[in-house]
A and B are shown apart, each in its own frame.
Chain A
């Protein structure tokens, strides 16, 4: 991403369509998008394979909603500081709270359909409504970027589990629980929406052939080994704006890239790197086993997620590893040393 020459002076107060949140708006005085806070003085740099960098909200960007606003503070682990007008509210994940003044009133929301389940650290993941007047701030715990996702009326977005920070009060939440078991697709039937599948394609032009495991039970054993691991996480959060436009604020670990898939376009990604996607993007699991596979090599099989357009997908550069991939037939090993280290880091 590069700064365009003299862009800040030429863009200030101009109408523009933000390439990141896809909404029209007037560039703010600190040269950011008024809807998502992303910098407005950058030139899109598209890589050779159509991925583009998503810069996240700028440090000190201010996003107005109703009579309230949110200001971004920081650049490593940015905080979202809310200034709430009297009677206005947002809801958020309790463990993202940094501070609050006494003017803010809090209220637990019990029926958030899955968001009240256990979070990464095993504690109860409480969802809380904060109502103004007053200030409070939220942040994640890992380096990354805050990304504001504005939603038009009845528009939905699917977000990786545990990345949710806050949402406007009119945004409804749903949960997709991912299937733990892999299923073979039936001939002639496209992959079912949101259900993981085992893709059994013998021929491939890549140096790897795609999974050709003759015994699905054995594949299941090798991949999951009895662990509760799902390539795209245990669930995805689905947010939908009701009765008017709304927004969802998420924290992307590391850096973020996005791509707009055409209707007939597919791409394979690391399942747990998927940050968010339009609901029109369908996914299923693909397993690749190295071409010269034997019993040892099969343990190094790659689990990926195939995403099918049309629609936008975004990935983040920090993601959970394929933890329980390596497990001997006798079940003696669950994690290798490197994997355990990464997991420890992610759970901090």
Chain B
């Protein structure tokens, strides 16, 4: 049987499908890459459905998209507390243990788990795109703080703080990086990017400079360092511009950028 390869998540799909069964990306749209190697994230069709484990996911809306999930009794998802929109009464919420203390918007940061059966929906507050990132076994995806919308229960979660990276963005003490790892079965992470989302696969050793507010996600194989942008210095005190320097690891790695920056106060 001939199969269609999804250019976004590389899953094989039966030919009769018009969208990927794993990530929802349209299978019949042109995959155009710019000269610098960036491609736009797939535009998920409004109201299209796809599945993870035994549950069904549906993306709704164009400008500030929301996701609605029909959770199977054996499935659960976790999410940041303030992203929940609506749920059936029988969907059970529990607090997910975290690997440290963290605050957001002046309040304690918490991640909740929702267990099926039943419907539950989520959205963030900024115009942008939803990106579906399948996490394969023994791989890790690093996502900027307050960008993930939800992750399936098979994906492990922890966060680290990158001190100093956000200084030029909002005068804070650094930003958090959420780390998603599939140690057992594979799973998915849904990410909300403000504005438009583009992705590039860095070759081994290839380096790009990224304005920190625009960094959305990266493979863990891509190293991240805060550096001064060479050549820029002006003003009485010699103001510098700090950027994130991203370098592909031995196997390279993906980097996702968002075109707009939506500030979320973190402590």
Contacts and interface: CB of A to CB of B under 8 A. Distances in A.
Interface of A: 59-60, 69, 71, 73-79, 81, 83, 94, 97-102, 105-110, 116, 124, 126, 128, 135, 137, 139-143, 348
A98 B231 contact: no
Contacts of A69: 35
A78 B262 CA distance: 15
Q: Chain B interface mostly helix, strand, loop or mixed? A: loop
A126 B239 contact: yes
B253 interface: no
16 contacts: A60-B32, A73-B40, A74-B196, A79-B196, A97-B229, A97-B241, A99-B211, A105-B230, A116-B235, A126-B241, A128-B232, A139-B260, A141-B194, A141-B195, A141-B213, A348-B262
Interface string B207-234: 1111101100000000000000111111
Contacts of B40: 59, 73-74
Given A99-B257, A101-B36, A116-B235, 17 more contacts: A71-B35, A73-B34, A74-B195, A74-B196, A77-B127, A77-B195, A81-B34, A94-B241, A101-B209, A106-B229, A108-B233, A109-B234, A124-B234, A124-B239, A135-B36, A141-B213, A142-B260
A108 B232 contact: yes
B128 interface: yes
A94 B239 CA distance: 12
A99 B37 CA distance: 12
B260 A140 contact: yes
Nearest to B262: A348
B196 A105 contact: no
Given A106-B232, A108-B232, A77 B260 contact: yes
Contacts of B243: 97, 100
A141 B260 CA distance: 4
* Closest 10 pairs between A and B when the two form their complex, measured CB to CB: A74-B196, A77-B195, A135-B36, A106-B231, A108-B234, A77-B260, A77-B259, A139-B259, A99-B210, A83-B35
Contacts of A71: 34-35
Given A94-B241, A124-B234, A76 B129 contact: yes
B207 to A, nearest CB: 5
A142 to B, nearest CB: 7
A81 B36 contact: yes
B203 to A, nearest CB: 11
Contacts of A128: 232, 241
A128 B231 CA distance: 9
A137 B199 CA distance: 13
Given A106-B229, A108-B231, A126-B239, A98 B196 contact: no
Contact of A101 (B127, B196, B208, B231): B208
